[in-house]
Amino acid sequence: MSTIIVIGGGIIGLLTARELAQAGADVTLIEMGTTGRESSWAGGGILSTLRPWRYAEPVTALVQWSQRRYPELCGELFERTGIDPEHSRDGLLIVDVPDPAPALSWGREHEMAMETLDGSAIRAAAPKLVHESECALWLPDIAHVRNPRLIKALRRANNRAVRIREHQEVVELLVSDDRVAGVRTHTGVHHAETVVVCAGAWTANLLEQLGRPPAIAPVRGEMLLFHADPGLLSRIVLAGEHYAIPRRDGRILFGSTLEQSGFAKTTTAEAKELLHEQATTLFPMLRRMPIGGHWAGLRPSSPSGIPYIGAHPGIAGLYVNAGHFRYGLTMAPASAHLITDLILGREPILPPAPYGLDAPR
């Protein structure tokens, strides 16, 4: 039985550890803080890229494989743990699409349901929305999950199959004769035959000691949560760069910002004011709703948004699964399955070349 260490306890690390353990590997997951409390917790949980026709094919391939897997995964986790990730196929309404032809062509090519709506149909789809749009796109099959619950369910499901070590920061990757030998944390050394780095925005810092780190950098995103009544919003709405996501209990998430701030994860009054202004302009009824939360997370950006999934080119036994930018949750099932295929020598679910650490992006 192979001994594997997974570094990072976000959605990518948790699902990677789960896939490896289910395949029979002896897995330890090491997380510098609390599992699932970074970008996996901070995001909105939309299981799609926001304008899918604009993304590179390697991103689309991961997203579509994951979209097919998510209903079954959420059902498995609910049955096993009693925690409902709230997979909800509410659909995505994109209200500012002046030229829908490229999107519709992309939708036909990728077999994604997509249709145009005019002014009256837009108002019928989102009665509380105030927006001057003559043409919108409706994607009825797009779903979202309640990401904190998904993370909690995964953490509980992994309890028996994976050793989870929280609040242990990996400070060094141990290498001997160009082969990984384990990791060093503040509390000691952990030996392993294989190490998988799933450290999100912190991945490049960890790999820098070995040279040629991937081009992954943190991008801060801030979100607002409104306490609203159930039914006020029944679908995901995207307008410009901002989106609103309904939860089953009536809460509405509104996001997000894109801020180059290094590893500073603090929220700002400016971002809160901007998000509130945008939210209440699009949905005036939110002016009467109390703000239930304001938080920030650090997304692991990468060139063209294409994550790094594969073996380190110079160190045997060292793998990377990181750099998913805004869509770690969206691409997680496929990414975890693909890296497990590569580690165990199985037939990969997708051609792995575009995700290699040296692949052009």
- Residues 23-77: pLDDT tens digits? 999 999 999 999 999 999 999 999 999 999 999 999 999 999 999 999 999 999 9
Do the domains spanning 3-74+148-215+303-355 and 88-143+217-301 agree at the CATH topology level?
Answer: no
DSSP calls for 185-253: ETTEEEE-SEEEE--GGGHHHHHGGGSS----EEEEEEEEEE---TTS--SEEEETTEEEEE-TTS-EE
Res. 1 pLDDT band, cuts 50 70 90: low
Mean per-residue pLDDT of the chain = 96
Domain range 88-143+217-301, CATH architecture = 2-Layer Sandwich (3.30)
Structure tokens at 79: 């049955």
Parse the chain into domains and list their residue ranges. 3-74+148-215+303-355, 88-143+217-301
Give the pLDDT confidence of 180-232 residue by residue, as tens digits: 999 999 999 999 999 999 999 999 999 998 988 999 999 999 999 999 989 89
Q: Which CATH architecture has domain 3-74+148-215+303-355?
A: 3-Layer(bba) Sandwich (3.50)
